[in-house]
Structure 1
Amino acid sequence: MIRGTWSLTEPLIPVNMPATMVRLGVENGLQQSDLLHNTQLNGEMLTDPATRLSYQQLLTLVNNLIKLYPGQTLGLDLGNALNINQYGMLGYAILSCADIRSALQLGVKYHSLIDPAFTFEIIEQDDTTAIRLTAHIPFEPIYRMLCDVFVANFASLGRFLIGQPDMQPIEVHLNHPKPDYADQYQQYFQCPVLFDQPRTELIVDSSLLDLPLIMADQATANMAESQCAEILSRLGPKEGIAAKVRRILLQNPGHFPPVDVVASHLATSTRTLSRSLQELGTSYQRILDEIRKEMAIEYLRNSSLPIEEVAALVGYSDPSNFRKAFRRWTGRAPSYYRKELS
């Protein structure tokens, strides 16, 4: 394992959110013992603030919840159930920020205190801003659930922080196919919800970023952020290895370095890098494919470039190989996204 990264077996995840998952399941008629099956957790541990879960334990818990949960809206329900208290000291710091922009910036800086397997970023444009998720979890059902949790939770927390329960994003984009329960999203968002998108993100009016938080207190925010910094330095990992690989690959989009060059950037060997990614259930090739997929969908949706040029821009000299790869990534032909755009 590369120093400074996280693995499936390290106890990194605070108990707050897993406890909320169990509570949501029980409120929907499930047995706590069934939800905790094979997790090595018990009810007492869920109430102990010192408890930290490994990713192996969390994935087992999430799999149990997905398998047993009545209905298909688990991610949306969980995102709506998570409140600011579940974010621990980071939540306390966010609650005290001056405005939405500073709260988001604080979240970007310290999100790994909550979950080092995802990152998010804020892309400000003129009139709109994208709050964008990148998840480094290679398990498809869990990834889909996390996308739903992300959009539902960020929207509900935004409403709570500014005291405007009717506030809605402009659009919600989801990086997965349209599910059977697509109409349920309208119960959470009174705005267009688009599927099969390059990325999972909330599109909001940029003016929202300057709205003051109803519990803003600069002295409290400074104190809480100092505590977050101290906790982060004590815990160690600040960026997962999958996020580091992704960042290197995106430095020069379309000209992706081979795995040995990426390893050299990380001051390690190809073998050690491959082993570290394997422990997370992913690989260099899988991360590269995800980036290529995102870029290809972006080009197909938002440009009139021929398929041959799109293929070249994501690193394929042979368009037929690109078409095969694209169908493997998305289950659809490139023309599907081009037709939808038209």
Structure 2
Amino acid sequence: MLERPEPGRAGLPMLRTLPSALDPAVHPMHKVRALVALLDAAGVDGASTLAGVGLQARDLDNVAARMSIRQLIGVFRNAHALVDDPLFALRGGLQCHLPVLGYFGLLLLTSANWRQLMGCFEKHRQLSTPALGVNVSVSDAHCVMTYFDAHDLEPELFSFILDFHLGMALTYQRDLYGEGFQLAGVRLSRPKPRHAAEIMELYGAPVRFGAARDEIFWERTWVDKPMRMADPLTAQALEEICGQLCEQIAAGSGVAGVVTRMLEEARYDFPGIDEVAARMHVTSRTLRRWLLAEGASYAGILDTVRARMAIRYLRATRMKTDEIARVLGFGATASFRSAFRRWTGRQPSHFRPHSRGRGDVPWVGQSVGAAGAASGDGLQVENQQG
């Protein structure tokens, strides 16, 4: 019998992410572009997949085009209606390699190891336009990736989107580790279909149907293997690009985006949460609840705004560290240095123009562990939404 491995027993904590808000059109078009290409290759008019979702065929060739999560789900819904092959989504996902995800995919591809990879995944997953929630955990024996429905999708549509993502996840692991990578097992909550044998053949692993969760897992030993295309300098450059792209998403998304813009406009005399809430005509309790629903907090957003401003001052001005500390509202330079280390995993001097290093721009909600992972200092991932 295929048993579900227990997570979180190997000293590597669980990572949890949820899709972002449904409606802001701030996400890159990578997945839609890949899906349309797969439909075209299968003899289906891929452009018709865009019908009724507010996207145009010309958007597929526009690197600056953006879409919302709701639009992506609409494209998946159209694709599901257009194809008769029950294995189309899984086969299609298996054909998608990491570069399909743009800069984010290339960053994962050039990561040095599992810890750095998970740090990047936590910080920048929004760049993959996530339509499903995902948990990633590590036990003594296995790595487990569990997907779940965070948008109350129709069951058949959820299964279609899930198959596409599970296929991608398997191919991505083979991109990272080579064709020798194999799954230890798959668990799917749907009933066993007539084409179950073909599904197992595509996964190359035992599949359990009627399970409590939808997940794939593989041997824990893969965590300790080096990534086959690791490139520290390329990863460092891509890390900064991805950080900037996530800033753009955060600035245009939901309540967290509104709060971020308010704090950035304040520059140095940052309003407290009560003042921000008053400007939004809600109570601070309501604002906290809204931010929590987006996986954010006022304190986390303020930290990120301060970190970004500090990095800009360090890079673009000759301001001394104590001056920057004072401008950002710190009573003592030592407190600023401590906070800066917590934000970025590095000292302020690392970001000066004469430094040989290149610093990472923190992301809204970034934890200490995420910064450490980006710099190779270890991973301490907290439960994360977004």
Q: TM-score, normalised by structure 2?
A: 0.58
Aligned pair in 2 of structure 1 residues 239, 170: CA closer, same or farther (>3 Å)?
farther
Establish whether residue 157 from structure 1 lines up as the match of residue 178 from structure 2: no
Establish whether residue 267 from structure 1 lines up as the match of residue 292 from structure 2: no
Aligned position for 1:20: 34
Secondary structure of 1:188's counterpart equals: helix
Aligned position for 1:142: 157
Aligned position for 1:59: 73
Superposed CA offset, 1:33-90 (max 9, x none): 4322223333221111111112332232212110111311132022112211111111
Q: How far apart are residue 268 of structure 1 and its match?
A: 4.2
Superposed CA offset, 1:231-271 (max 9, x none): 11221179999xxxxxxxxxxxxxxxxxxxxx9586248xx
Q: How far apart are residue 6 of structure 1 and its match?
A: 4.6
Establish whether residue 123 from structure 1 lines up as the match of residue 142 from structure 2: no
Q: How far apart are residue 104 of structure 1 and its match?
A: 3.4
**Which AA in structure 1 matches 2:188?**
L
- Determine the C-alpha separation between the residues in 1 that align with 2:96 and 2:251: 24
**Which AA in structure 2 matches 1:43?**
A
Matching of residues 67-146 of structure 1 within 5 Å: 67-139=81-153, 140-146=155-161
- Determine the C-alpha separation between the residues in 2 that align with 1:97 and 1:23: 27
Alpha-carbon contact 1:112-1:238 (below 8 Å) kept: no
Superposed CA offset, 1:251-304 (max 9, x none): xxxxxxxxxxxx9586248xxx8xxxxxxxxxxxxxxxxxxxxxxxxxxxxxxx
Aligned position for 1:175: 189
Alpha-carbon contact 1:101-1:210 (below 8 Å) kept: no
Secondary structure of 2:234's counterpart equals: helix
Superposed CA offset, 1:162-183 (max 9, x none): 22x2421111112333233322
Q: How far apart are residue 117 of structure 1 and its match?
A: 3.8
Superposed CA offset, 1:301-321 (max 9, x none): xxxxxxxxxxxxxxxxxxxxx
In structure 2, the gaps of 5 or more residues are: 1-18, 256-283, 294-386
Give the alignment partner of residue 40 of structure 1, picking from 40, 54, 75.
54
- Determine the C-alpha separation between the residues in 1 that align with 2:215 and 2:253: 20
Matching of residues 298-313 of structure 1 within 5 Å: none
Establish whether residue 219 from structure 1 lines up as the match of residue 243 from structure 2: no
Secondary structure of 2:144's counterpart equals: strand
Alpha-carbon contact 1:137-1:143 (below 8 Å) kept: no
- Determine the C-alpha separation between the residues in 1 that align with 2:197 and 2:253: 36
Secondary structure of 1:67's counterpart equals: helix
In structure 1, the gaps of 5 or more residues are: 242-262, 274-342
**Which AA in structure 2 matches 1:102?**
Q
**Which AA in structure 2 matches 1:194?**
R
Alpha-carbon contact 1:116-1:239 (below 8 Å) kept: no
Aligned pair in 2 of structure 1 residues 267, 220: CA closer, same or farther (>3 Å)?
same
Alpha-carbon contact 1:17-1:82 (below 8 Å) kept: no
Superposed CA offset, 1:190-234 (max 9, x none): 221112222222221111012112211112212211221221122
- Determine the C-alpha separation between the residues in 2 that align with 1:113 and 1:48: 16
Q: Which has the larger radius of gyration?
A: 2
Matching of residues 190-269 of structure 1 within 5 Å: 190-236=204-250, 267-268=288-289
Alpha-carbon contact 2:192-2:210 (below 8 Å) kept: yes
Alpha-carbon contact 1:116-1:238 (below 8 Å) kept: no
Matching of residues 288-299 of structure 1 within 5 Å: none
Alpha-carbon contact 1:117-1:240 (below 8 Å) kept: no
Aligned pair in 2 of structure 1 residues 80, 178: CA closer, same or farther (>3 Å)?
same
- Determine the C-alpha separation between the residues in 2 that align with 1:121 and 1:40: 31
Alpha-carbon contact 1:108-1:120 (below 8 Å) kept: no
Aligned pair in 2 of structure 1 residues 171, 11: CA closer, same or farther (>3 Å)?
same
* Further displaced range: 119-128 or 91-100: 119-128
- Indicate the RMSD between aligned Cα atoms, in angstroms: 2.7
Identity over aligned pairs, percent: 22
- Determine the C-alpha separation between the residues in 2 that align with 1:176 and 1:120: 17
Superposed CA offset, 1:75-123 (max 9, x none): 2022112211111111111111112443234223311221244333322
- Determine the C-alpha separation between the residues in 2 that align with 1:35 and 1:59: 11
Aligned pair in 2 of structure 1 residues 171, 214: CA closer, same or farther (>3 Å)?
same
**Which AA in structure 1 matches 2:68?**
S
- Determine the C-alpha separation between the residues in 2 that align with 1:24 and 1:162: 24
Alpha-carbon contact 1:75-1:146 (below 8 Å) kept: yes
- Determine the C-alpha separation between the residues in 2 that align with 1:6 and 1:209: 28
Count of paired positions: 244
Alpha-carbon contact 2:21-2:253 (below 8 Å) kept: no
